[in-house]
Structure 1
């Protein structure tokens, strides 16, 4: 079984709850997806790192990160695999708002520099709110957002919202891949 198929089975088994829920966007849905149940699983973290590093290998990327919480375990999993492959990447996490103390930063990790090419990652894409927030934070620094990579695109308008901001979206899977 290849990495993509193994990840799909793990996501289907662990990350999807097929029941009515209200999403953070306020929309109601007949399923909930919690990618952290897989990205915080050792096998899942390994598979996610393999697949996303494959998606980054032929890109000229300087940094990868995303908005806390969905991106945190993905970013953490990427580090060792990127290092093993010789990918020279900085990793970062975007806070929902800048700290009010200490360094008062919103983007944490090795300092990003204007002109750097970055990729934003997240576990799920619905309306795009989390990714849009991360895109805005790194653009304020002067970085170029090359693309966003998500584990699952719910196909509910997020891709279109990001494309309107000139951010290309690549999803590992869509909700349709799971019969949703």
Structure 2
């Protein structure tokens, strides 16, 4: 897995990591901007995310004896990550395959008025996904929506933890966080 880890890190650094002065979704300013969507929507990046993400999820399933039904998070950042992990689960362990869903920022105002789309139902045990966590706000929002719909969040899978308090905020809710990279590991700080 270290070769896969290094390849994905290289793509993240090339396509997704920028330094400068940026205003983040939280309103805070930062010297680092990470747009994981560019990597997650790259065919090679998506394949590598699927492999590393499924490895991390499967390892946790095995070590804790979990049953996971589905994986997903807030659209748009979580969508390609969730799909890549779900597809890899189907290819590598069809008997443990996990379904994929996404969460709209607001419920639809037409049709069935759903906020969670895809393969999710009340009672599902799920992995919540986020591309990047800073404060943890969008991940916590996803957790709230999942729990309100009757889902049980077993842990969070995050592509990059910016190491700015998000992990602590999510874990304070009793949801463990598994991150593939952190600011430190990504930038070798």
The interval holding the TM-score normalised by the smaller chain is over 0.9
* 2:70–2:100 Cα contact (<8 Å) kept: yes
Matched residue, 1:137: 145
**In 2: Cα distance, 1:47 partner to 1:18 partner:** 24
Matched residue, 2:84: 77
Matched residue, 2:70: 63
Q: Report how far residue 129 of structure 1 moved.
A: 1.0
**In 1: Cα distance, 2:120 partner to 2:82 partner:** 15
* The structure with more helix, counted as a fraction of residues: 2
**In 2: Cα distance, 1:88 partner to 1:14 partner:** 30
Deviation readout 1:112-149 (Å, 9 max, x if unpaired):
122x2100111100001111111011101222111111
Q: Report how far residue 103 of structure 1 moved.
A: 1.0
Other structure's SS at 1:19 match? strand
Root-mean-square deviation (Å) = 1.3
Matched, 1:98 2:107: yes
**In 2: Cα distance, 1:174 partner to 1:150 partner:** 9
TM-score, structure 2 normalization: 0.90
**In 2: Cα distance, 1:80 partner to 1:26 partner:** 34
**In 2: Cα distance, 1:174 partner to 1:88 partner:** 27
Map 1:7-156 → 2, pairs under 5 A: 7-58=8-59, 59=61, 60-85=67-92, 86=94, 87-114=96-123, 116-156=124-164
Matched residue, 1:164: 172
Where does structure 1 differ by over 3 angstroms across 4 or more consecutive aligned residues? none
Other structure's SS at 1:162 match? helix
TM-score, structure 1 normalization: 0.95
**Which ranges in structure 1 are unaligned for 5 or more consecutive residues?**
none
Q: Report how far residue 179 of structure 1 moved.
A: 4.1
**In 1: Cα distance, 2:82 partner to 2:180 partner:** 15
**In 2: Cα distance, 1:61 partner to 1:16 partner:** 31
**In 2: Cα distance, 1:126 partner to 1:88 partner:** 30
Q: Report how far residue 13 of structure 1 moved.
A: 1.1
**Which ranges in structure 2 are unaligned for 5 or more consecutive residues?**
62-66
